Amino acid sequence: MKITCIGAGYVGGPTMAMIAGKCPGIDVTVVDINESRIAAWNDTDLSKLPVFEPGLDEIVGEARGRNLHFSTDVDSAIGEADMIFISVNTPTKTYGTGKGQAADLKWVERCARQIAELVERDIIIVEKSTVPIRTAAMIKSVLRAVGKEDKVKVLSNPEFLAEGTAVADLSNPDRVLIGGEDEESIEKLVSVYAQWVPREKILTTNLWSSELSKLTANAFLAQRVSSINSISALCEVTGADVGEVAKAIGTDSRIGPRFLQASVGFGGSCFQKDILNLTYLCDYFGLPEVAAYWKSVIELNDWQKRRFAEKIVHTLFNTVAEKKIGILGFAFKKDTNDTRESAAIYVCRDLLIEKAHLAIYDPRVSLQQIIRDLEYVGITDAQDLVKSGALSKVDSVDQAAADSHALAILTEWDEFKTLDYNAIFETMKKPAWLFDGRNIVDRKKASATGFDVYSIGKGESHGAEWEVR
Ligand code: NAD
Ligand code: UGA
């Protein structure tokens, strides 16, 4: 069998590497119009793969050139395939009808049209991208228009991997979901996954349930984070500890312990976009109450990010102008180089608007990426700020801390969990503040060193020297 995947991004790359690794009998080609991305996937230096995921380099290194290929020749790969995965981006629309809410399906439609034009034999199209419900109907219409509806079967197979744990999620998924109308094509896709996933974990549904389940899963996950973050604010004003509350409720098997980690706010390319898409669909189908319910998950998240930046400004005597603040972490979570919708972007934006000087340290994110992200959210002079020294990317926690008034932890990278509080404290201005947006700081230890600490949902704990306050 020959599989082609259109889109070599965070999903297409790892997913296809896993299929190639687990199914040596299947020849897998991943194609993309982005030449530099494909070049990076083909780089002999595996540390230069365009997607950083623990363990991915090993899998790619083993399968690449054997039964895993990366190419920019989209037409040929479509022409040769028995099964084509569409794994292209489906971001929130930035123009026209549905701007800021609906999913932009132009890349998916482009793929459907390209396949419709080129395909001459019986194939299966697999929707891997996250799409609004009834997208498969659009793909079928495109095929019908050129008389190829009978040749090509369409399946929905949403991806549930999380970044940073993609390899583990793909090799041992909670479930694989396949939606379709044609038993034979469903079975063909089932037989691919069944090479490493137990059959009872492979769920089959109708097309529309599968498409909607993906949006619903992300909405439920994001809702848990917003729910615990809402409680974090209540904890801070009442003396409760959000970690203890999360543990207490999470031990109820009906609630469960995961996704109850209070934070500076969820980020990532999908939670916000998929909930916005869900609310758009609800509005479109005349369900404004349902739309409003899910929208509040995003509103709470926006508030949580804003609240964190305001807390810093307020605490530093209502002004951060020209004060150096060390930012620890810019990625939207640990173990990824992805910054899409990262809470750090918004916190940094708000602090730069207040004229803070930021020194950002993230082990995986480049200065170019930070500038692009900040420009996108309105810091149009980000380049100038770099030139003037008001914005910098530094290479270590120590450099971020030196001469700073405060450190703000925005990503839970493991190295931030074992900070040398004494050494850092010595180099900072006093009072030295530690704002922990991920609740990974050892508050007792940091306070004993002299730090004033703010943690989400735990409030403030003051260092030895300023206990009198
Ligand atoms: P991405 O932006 O990293 O990758 C998409 C790739 O598709 C890009 O490299 C782009 O150049 C390519 N592309 C677009 N149109 C093309 C075309 N016509 N021909 C060839 N290549 C084309 O996106 P991603 O993070 O991999 O997400 C892809 C889809 O998977 C989205 O719908 C997303 O919602 C969904 N998803 C993402 C994740 C995740 O963790 N990132 C998880 C589950 C689902
Ligand atoms: C999420 C889902 O978990 C995946 O199942 C899904 O496939 C994917 O979206 C997608 O569709 O793109 P991802 O965004 O990669 O995966 O990462 P998560 O682990 O879900 O984290 C999302 C955000 O929520 C991060 O910013 C994380 O720090 C935050 N988070 C997560 C919390 O603040 N608290 C938690 O308890 C959990």
Structure confidence by residue, pLDDT tens digits, 305-320: 999 999 999 999 999 9
Please report the pLDDT score of residue 468 as a whole number. 43
CA of 16 to the centre of ligand 2 (A): 21
> In total, how many domains does the chain have?
2
Average pLDDT score over residue span 375-399: 98
Q: Which residue is closest in CA terms to ligand 2's atom 20?
A: 162
d(CA 114, CA 163): 29
For the Cβ of 349 lying below 6 angstroms from any atom of ligand 1, the answer is: no
CA of 128 to the centre of ligand 1 (A): 9
Q: Which residue has the tokens 């971001």?
A: 91
Assess whether 145 and 22 both reside in one domain.
Answer: yes
DSSP classification of residue 93: P
For the Cβ of 163 lying below 6 angstroms from any atom of ligand 2, the answer is: yes
Helices 106-118 and 135-145: angle between axes, nearest 10 degrees:
30
469 pLDDT higher than 80: no
Query: Which residues lie closer than 8 Å to 189 by C-beta, 6 or more apart?
Result: 83, 124, 126, 155, 157, 178, 180
Domain enclosing residue 333, as ranges: 301-468
CA of 173 to the centre of ligand 2 (A): 15
Q: Is the pTM of this model over 0.75?
A: yes
Domain boundary pick from 163, 188, 205? 205
pLDDT one-digit tens code per residue, 43-61:
999 999 999 999 999 999 9
Q: Indicate which residues carry an active-site annotation.
A: 270
CA of 222 to the centre of ligand 2 (A): 7
Domain boundary pick from 171, 205, 239? 205
Please report the pLDDT score of residue 467 as a whole number. 46
DSSP 127-189: E-S---TTHHHHHHHHHHHTT-TTTEEEEE------TTSHHHHHHS-S-EEEE-S-HHHHHHH
For the Cβ of 270 lying below 6 angstroms from any atom of ligand 1, the answer is: yes
Domain boundary pick from 205, 222, 237? 205
Give the CA radius of gyration of the chain: 24
d(CA 36, CA 12): 15
Q: Which residue is closest in CA terms to ligand 2's atom 30?
A: 266
Q: Strand, coil or helix: what is 406?
A: strand
Q: Which residue is closest in CA terms to ligand 2's atom 14?
A: 268
Q: Which residue is closest in CA terms to ligand 1's atom 2?
A: 89
Residue 82 lies in a domain: yes
Please report the pLDDT score of residue 161 as a whole number. 98
Nearest-atom index, ligand 2, CA of 258: 36
Residue 282 lies in a domain: no
- Quickly state the pLDDT bin for 460 (edges 50, 70, 90): confident
Closest-CA residue to 362 (of 325, 336, 340)? 336
Residue 130 lies in a domain: yes
For the Cβ of 211 lying below 6 angstroms from any atom of ligand 1, the answer is: no
466 pLDDT higher than 60: no
Assess whether 16 and 159 both reside in one domain.
Answer: yes
Residue 279 lies in a domain: no
Instruction: Report how far Cα 303 is from the mean position of its chain's Cα atoms.
Output: 19
From the CA of 51, the nearest ligand is: 1
Assess whether 56 and 168 both reside in one domain.
Answer: yes
